[in-house]
Amino acid sequence: MKRTAVLAAALATALAATLASAGTADARSGARDDSYGTKAPYAPQQDLRHYQQVPEGYSAVFTENVARHGSRAMSDREDGDAVLALLARAEQDGGLTGLGARLAPQVRTLLDAGASIGYGNLSARGADEQRQTALRMERRLPGLFDAIAAQGAPIVVETSGVTRATASADAFTAGLVAGEPALAGVLKAPVTDKNLLYFHKQPQNADYQAYLAGDPQLAAALAGIDADPRTAEAARHTVRRLFTARFADTLTTEQQTAFARSLAALRSAAPDLAAESGGTDLDRFLTPDDARWFGYLDDAEEFYQKGPGFTGRTITYKMAGVLLDDLFAQLERKAAGTSADGAVLRFTHAEEIEPLAALLGLPGSTEQADPAHPYSYADNPWRGARVAPMAANIQWDLYRSTADSAGGGKGRPGYLVRMFYNEKETAFKDGCRPIAKGSAFYDLDELERCFGRN
């Protein structure tokens, strides 16, 4: 079987596995629903058939990515236990509605699913997300991966060292090998680099950790958003659908809100565990409007803690400079002829993807929030489900002029770069000029200028 046929067959097999495991409940919920926030399952944002043609006279010589781990189990069972405790209390008191009586079995199934693979660990869906992304990468760059295999060019794999990130790397590289078996011989064993791929927890970013722990501006913004009357309204509406009015009236506003937010967190985790939980569906227990509001509350936390944050402040994203520097360094080494690597693959977390997106000025991550006007869906495009869903990825491809590999022809760039964001061709930030209006390709020297590297 020809390599292209092997690749197509592998992609079809992986796709079928995902569709079989996702379940009808996940299909109804939809991976692009903003209410799932950063727990949203991954979906590529552009069809393979609709990418721009590579400019004539250029061929791919290198690719690199930064990817979040794939879909995973919830971090712990705290939300599930809280929901089950109140349901049990209500059941003893005869305080459940017909809908409420159906919730506890679903929550137990979801908790059992998380425990079966280990809380926080990569799920079957998460592994499929990585394998399929790898197969599509090969389909975008067939000539490059043929050359990597033929030349024995190393494929470097780096992770944060956290189990779900390492498992994601393993699934991704398994996808590469499924599409091109000869790549097995050039894949390097994964190495851990916490300074690069888990930087938010490292000592050099103590100022960021202090910001999370006690910054008064941050605390005030989040408290103000939580205190919005719509939070109590959504919680009360949720509670009164699941509990009788008599029982609901025994709960304080704080208790109702805590319950509703825990339920919303479980709902968001369910699609990621579709295979393990048999397609457990918690959508019916929250109305779309209530789910959207609780999703907004989660997005607000992400926005202020890991995203663009406050106008005039860089504390949430400046630390991603180490990752941006490495992206450029790999391109520079390849262009200078000092690197033999064919690809560099990195696997990390939302805490790294979100700051990097802001630092790069990627779509949806360019607008900060004035302290006097809190982040809201009404006037800010930032959405966790679009910026950093499960398996979110940023990819840079390097193309060399085949006319003159040492530097191109007269007036012709020696190297071009194209960026993908969640597999969509994406322009670099404002101020960076592509080789032609509307082109997805940039002269490497122009990017160096635009990002202040030369």
- Mean pLDDT, residues 300-315: 98
pTM, whole model, 2 decimals? 0.92
Assign 191 to helix, strand or coil: strand
Residue 200 confidence (pLDDT) above 90:
yes
Q: Which two tokens stand for residue 401?
A: 């002029």
What's the residue count for the chain?
454
In this structure, how many other beta carbons lie within 10 angstroms of the beta carbon of residue 274?
A: 27
**What pLDDT, on the 0 to 100 scale, is given for residue 408?**
53
- Top pLDDT among 151 and 411 is at 151
Residue 192 confidence (pLDDT) above 90:
yes
pLDDT 10s digits, 411-442:
789 999 999 999 999 999 999 999 999 999 99
Classify residue 201 by its DSSP letter: G
The strand pair at 415-421 and 441-443 is best described as: antiparallel
Residue 6 confidence (pLDDT) above 60:
no
- Top pLDDT among 409 and 12 is at 409
pLDDT 10s digits, 27-51:
333 345 899 999 999 999 999 999 9
Distance CA 187, CA 176 (A): 10
Residue 409 confidence (pLDDT) above 90:
no
**What pLDDT, on the 0 to 100 scale, is given for residue 30?**
38
Q: Which two tokens stand for residue 183?
A: 């790549």
Residue 292 has phi, psi (to 5 degrees) of: -65, -40
Structural domains in the chain plus CATH codes: 3-450 (3.40.50.1240)
In this structure, how many other beta carbons lie within 10 angstroms of the beta carbon of residue 216?
A: 7
Residue 394 confidence (pLDDT) above 90:
yes
- Mean pLDDT, residues 336-343: 98
User: Which residue type is seen at 442?
Assistant: Y
User: For residues 291 and 300, is the Cβ–Cβ distance under 8 A?
Assistant: no
DSSP secondary structure string for all residues of 229-256: HHHHHHHHHHHHHHB-HHHHTTS-HHHH
Distance CA 375, CA 222 (A): 10
Residue 26 confidence (pLDDT) above 90:
no
pLDDT 10s digits, 106-125:
999 999 999 999 999 999 99
The strand pair at 58-68 and 343-348 is best described as: parallel
Distances (CA, A) of 297 to 36, 56, 212: 11, 48, 16
**What pLDDT, on the 0 to 100 scale, is given for residue 410?**
63
**What pLDDT, on the 0 to 100 scale, is given for residue 112?**
98
pLDDT 10s digits, 259-296:
999 999 999 999 999 999 998 999 999 999 999 999 99
Distance CA 317, CA 83 (A): 34
Contacts of 171 (CB under 8 A, 6+ apart): 70, 122, 126, 127, 128, 130, 131, 134
Percent of the chain with pLDDT over 90: 89
- Mean pLDDT, residues 390-417: 84
Classify residue 36 by its DSSP letter: G
Q: Mean pLDDT for the chain?
A: 93
**What pLDDT, on the 0 to 100 scale, is given for residue 32?**
55
User: For residues 416 and 96, is the Cβ–Cβ distance under 8 A?
Assistant: no
Residue linked to tokens 């596995």:
17
**What pLDDT, on the 0 to 100 scale, is given for residue 24?**
33
DSSP secondary structure string for all residues of 294-318: HHHHHHHHHHHHHSS-BTT--TTTG
The strand pair at 155-159 and 343-348 is best described as: parallel
pLDDT class for 134, splitting at 50, 70, 90? very high
- Mean pLDDT, residues 435-451: 97
